[in-house]
Amino acid sequence: MIAKAIASEAGVNFINVNGSDFEEMFVNLGATWIKKLFDEAKKKQPTIIFIDEFDSLASKRIEEHQYFRLTLNQLLSSMDGIDSSEEIIVIAATNFPDNLDNAVMRPGRFDRIINIPSPNY
């Protein structure tokens, strides 16, 4: 909701995806879908891409499945391919930040962590 509110306030396009969808719906196609996601964002600039359940997409590379690594590698490559003149911001949410692959947290990728506490009603 926060990422959507940011996009609304900024008056930019908003693309919302769920990290687990890449492995559930797109088995062996996750890398291709990541590429299409970033291509769409480039066409619709300015854009905020929000990835929920990010840990399911970018957890530490201990998985034995090659397609999992291909998906993560494509995500990292796509993020590195965002030029500073492009108007694309990627925001992700996870409840398990300690499970994220170290490569994800390098400068220029997800190099800022903002902890948002659970709401108290």
Model confidence pLDDT, tens digit, residues 71-93: 888 999 999 888 888 999 999 99
Q: Which CATH code of 3.90.1330.10, 3.40.50.150, 3.10.20.30, 3.40.50.300 fits the domain covering 2-105?
A: 3.40.50.300
Phi, psi of 48 (to 5 degrees): -110, 125
**Edge-to-edge strand ranges of the sheet holding 88-92:** 13-18, 47-52, 88-92
Model confidence pLDDT, tens digit, residues 17-44: 998 777 655 556 788 889 999 999 999 9
14 pLDDT band, cuts 50/70/90, is very high
Domains in the chain: boundaries: 2-105
* CA–CA gap between residue 51 and residue 15 (Å, rounded): 9
* CA–CA gap between residue 85 and residue 106 (Å, rounded): 20
